[in-house]
Structure 1
């Protein structure tokens, strides 16, 4: 039933001999054990111990569709009798009344503006009832448009290209109210590491392994999006990074599938505000199915054994309540030999539904218009990034080539999701005042904490923390010292307009509190050089050639130059992917890895350098000892040229016997030890004190 109160009265039959009862409800929590498997929706909390056979909550239960509860009768001797599980929903929306041409009739929005409330408009009815009623009222064209983006230009479309400026988004949402049935869109964009407050990328968070913090970061993003009516994000990634040369390894959850899984549970639960999609959620879009970390966008190379490893975070995301999954560009030689990319491969999508039991929405990655019909017929529900105005595309042609049953199947999922989000009853945010609640100090502190916990000290020969005297000089050099954007990628942002500091300015600010002078590039008699090197921002392709996973000559020369002058060198390394560091490892007196640390990585790292806190982070991947652990001499980015196994974790420099053992453990469902191979720095490397090492 859908409750008509936030404090529903629960009752049950008496059990003879009972001293008291326990009432257990699967209320939403913020302190789940994100490392544990199992559906978050099936985790219960004891909320009361009444002696009678009724209980009414003393707090307001938030909107959610699947509240489960049961009662345990406890006798005087301690014997326990457990009831069956019962279920209810709570949905009491704040019905929006704005100047959008939609009147409120009998307490509900009259979306089709006919003066009466049809079942699909009545929030008091079940989601399934509303879906069935609305689907029956829609024309074929109205249905087909629900599968497409670009509501900015086509008001019948189901999806909005996000992110947008708050006023622009609000104008688009208002325009859709004028359509015949008033079906609202969902705005979703590549906000992969925060909406307005940028936190570290997932591989960086994997160095911190603070899953309750990951939950808070997802929840922070949810709160910022809800301020202005943005209700979706094309994140997080459920990918395990086992291929060193994959450019987007930076966006995934590191090399450890269990760490990636815990991170996915936390982020999905935070973004969706609980263990299932609900009217307070931002829709998480988990990607890129079926796991491009094992090969990259050109082709996934796992087989019937190693696929098990790469499915672990996808299963975890579903356990956390994810109901939207994005297939990637890559095909799978195992799931669909010789077939297309995942978004228009029926075999790859069928595996998702049949083998993982997934029933939610499937949204393609940004495919060209010529692939949309094939993608829909393969089982994709939403054409991600698809613009119905694309050259050579007609909606009529799409409707003719995609069977009605397939369109109905897809649109039923889309409508169900929108009703569960509550956007029919509360479609708008606050475009005027909402932006003033972006980037709050508490949000910045969360981003700073995430960067602090992720920063990884690989080496320290006694130069850290910085303990110089007032009046001493430091030189800060290197291309990443003033490259604020390197903290992020194209779908997350450095925010100088909010006061974000790059590495140079952050070190200057922190050094000033100790009376230490900071010079850029060169200065008089420096006692220390902090050299900021690494790769600038990129997404689909590395900034350096992907077959060059090592510092370029000019950055290496910076380190050598200071060392040759007898100046102690701290290397601060922006590390979006594993690279070879052997050629300068012995030149550095200390190495601090910042990964893609988000907008607060400068202040966080400066605080670390000056000893305001002890190191915490651990490498989320192995670092190769030499390039030949990755590639054959002269090799390129293809499996035949690889010395690492693209689908195996922890195998840099591994023997054939070690790789066989890794496979055997994966096949048996056992945890894979992180100690295989012969890397320069092992997975999980990182100092946790200021002792030299």
Structure 2
């Protein structure tokens, strides 16, 4: 580690003179600032430091701060960071160093940071990553249950603890900024991002926003500590409330679709969590959604993409709600706007976007925006506002004083203490939906038969946004599968993935059904063969096992599945969600070490055709209502 830091320091020292010569020329106003420049003085108020630094910046340097590129586009020539005065980098889902280890991550981020520190003004980069259920791109990190499961816990303090661990592990490996938490309100379980939401009720989502405090701390001073990161509330606003089949280009979509709502509904359901995220938790950044809003309830109006919606981004969010942080666009989001690239850039900047995730087109973006300012299409005051917001975050994070990774907590990544919290979260998230004749908890004396591929597949139980963007089946991360957890309580269980081994002589069967991993877009029901129904293999396993013995069915999925026809065959039914790396938590409730306390964060439909179904609907008649959950204690 020491050798890495010394090498990084040498790189900075070697790069500074060249960068200074390149940018300053013979103009004294563009010379590198002295060490006692006000913006470099940590004793001054942040606002004073921002004002001083902004006054020293050229248009190129300001636009550079508004630009975020993907790490892979800079990997072969990191000097682009210096040449472009780049303000930010990100790792997209699955974009990792080789090897994918904490030290390699920290070394990578520090290498990029060295390039930023060789610019004339030595403004550090802000590195962002999707730590949405743990530092999930890093192999070996603690992988927590997905948000829908955390909503089932009804435990805001546990959510805060979870995100504090995620912040600690993320910052120790380099990134100082996370694109989390998702404060969306899911209103249609056919949406492929259902598991990223805490639930269908905005009040529940607001309760779980303690996660923002876990990420950022509860005071400005906390942000600069090695166990906190800048948080991002996403996706503003209404991405979980798009209309099924809505489209801006004639093709099917739920993800990135259109909210066809009136203002009261939008304010009460979709906007509400962002008010508390800003006013109570002081979230540092917000990511606008890909989705559009159509205020006409019949859907024949003129839908406006959120990236172009000045009314919502500036008038409502920044001015009325009082958001003081900065807005970061989603991946190439502005390129979905009408018009040529210059029009897209101009529209989004003037609507209120501050930083632009242009993963592979940073030079083009900067050149275009500079041209728009020079042509008078974008006001300098709008640029200054955006850059001031971004610089404020960097000062508050302490990056000017400590730009390189503080590795103090690197040894805690994936530690037993962190995994114990994840195991607790798994246990608290389990929702018992049926328990005929008190089949659960299982007893040590019982002979147990386990079936189903999801019982022994850690990739499936982690879900999407795990190592890769869409996630994948198989042995993708360290941890404990549900089967391994069961065997810690009962080493003699028989396991058959397809229930092909004889079923005679057993007291109880445990059938683990569910989904395979997916993420945004790909996971939408209606996209390909996706459905809320159980697979034929899962139904066959239920028929075989539940026809031979008392049976428990565990559902490992990111949203409700249709089990109406199978439920009469099942003695006990448990929604296990996507538990992440700690399958022992599922076994803890199964064998009675932890009581079933989880409550449904969404309404459970009787059929796929019943979607969307939400608490408060007229003629509300779900299979299981919002908030339902039995206990095995009697």
TM-score, normalised via structure 1 length: 0.73
Pick from 359, 383, 389: which aligns with 1:413? 389
* Alignment partner, residue 304 of structure 1: 263
1:388, distance to aligned residue in structure 2 (A): 3.4
For this pair of structures, how many residues does the alignment match? 541
1:99, distance to aligned residue in structure 2 (A): 4.2
> Could you tell me how far apart the structure 2 residues matched to 1:625 and 1:530 are?
23
Pick from 29, 49, 60: which aligns with 1:141? 60
**Structure 1 or 2: more helix by fraction:** 2
> Could you tell me how far apart the structure 1 residues matched to 2:457 and 2:416 are?
23
* Alignment partner, residue 322 of structure 1: 283
1:158, distance to aligned residue in structure 2 (A): 0.9
* Alignment partner, residue 368 of structure 2: 397
Q: More deviation in 352-361 or 281-290? A: 352-361
* Alignment partner, residue 484 of structure 2: 505
> Could you tell me how far apart the structure 2 residues matched to 1:254 and 1:394 are?
36
Pick from 275, 295, 300: which aligns with 1:334? 295
* Alignment partner, residue 319 of structure 2: 354
* Alignment partner, residue 272 of structure 1: 216
> Could you tell me how far apart the structure 2 residues matched to 1:166 and 1:212 are?
29
2:220 is the counterpart of 1:246 = no
> Could you tell me how far apart the structure 2 residues matched to 1:243 and 1:498 are?
30
RMSD: 2.7
Pick from 10, 16, 39: which aligns with 1:120? 39
Q: Is the 8 A contact 1:176 1:182 kept in 2?
A: yes
Q: Is the 8 A contact 1:102 1:113 kept in 2?
A: no
> Could you tell me how far apart the structure 2 residues matched to 1:551 and 1:518 are?
20
* Alignment partner, residue 594 of structure 1: 576
2:564 is the counterpart of 1:608 = no
* Alignment partner, residue 435 of structure 1: 410
* Alignment partner, residue 220 of structure 1: 165
> Could you tell me how far apart the structure 1 residues matched to 2:269 and 2:365 are?
41
Change (3 A) 1:468 1:545: farther
Q: Is the 8 A contact 1:170 1:228 kept in 2?
A: no
Change (3 A) 1:115 1:99: farther
TM-score, normalised via structure 2 length: 0.80
Unpaired runs of 5+ in structure 2?
1-7, 15-29, 75-79, 97-104, 136-140, 243-253, 336-340
Pick from 231, 236, 249: which aligns with 1:289? 236
> Could you tell me how far apart the structure 1 residues matched to 2:478 and 2:429 are?
21
* Alignment partner, residue 683 of structure 1: 626
> Could you tell me how far apart the structure 2 residues matched to 1:518 and 1:556 are?
17
1:510, distance to aligned residue in structure 2 (A): 2.4
Q: Is the 8 A contact 1:535 1:544 kept in 2?
A: no
Which is greater in Rg?
1
Pick from 525, 542, 547: which aligns with 1:559? 542
Q: Is the 8 A contact 2:451 2:495 kept in 1?
A: no
5 Å-filtered alignment, 1:22-41, equals none
Change (3 A) 1:352 1:255: same
Q: Is the 8 A contact 1:373 1:398 kept in 2?
A: yes
1:603, distance to aligned residue in structure 2 (A): 0.9
Q: Is the 8 A contact 1:528 1:569 kept in 2?
A: yes
Q: Is the 8 A contact 1:531 1:569 kept in 2?
A: yes
Change (3 A) 1:232 1:358: same
> Could you tell me how far apart the structure 2 residues matched to 1:418 and 1:235 are?
18
Secondary structure of the corresponding residue to residue 534 of structure 2: coil
Q: More deviation in 231-240 or 161-170? A: 161-170
Q: Which structure has more RCO (C-alpha within 8 Å, separation ≥ 6)?
A: 2
* Alignment partner, residue 467 of structure 1: 443
Q: Is the 8 A contact 2:345 2:368 kept in 1?
A: no
> Could you tell me how far apart the structure 1 residues matched to 2:631 and 2:561 are?
22
> Could you tell me how far apart the structure 1 residues matched to 2:477 and 2:608 are?
40
1:179, distance to aligned residue in structure 2 (A): 1.2
Unpaired runs of 5+ in structure 1?
1-96, 104-110, 631-643, 656-676
1:298-330 CA distance string (max 9 Å, x none): 011331221213222111211111121110000
Pick from 568, 571, 584: which aligns with 2:566? 584
Q: Is the 8 A contact 1:222 1:273 kept in 2?
A: no
Change (3 A) 1:112 1:624: farther
Q: More deviation in 332-341 or 233-242? A: 332-341
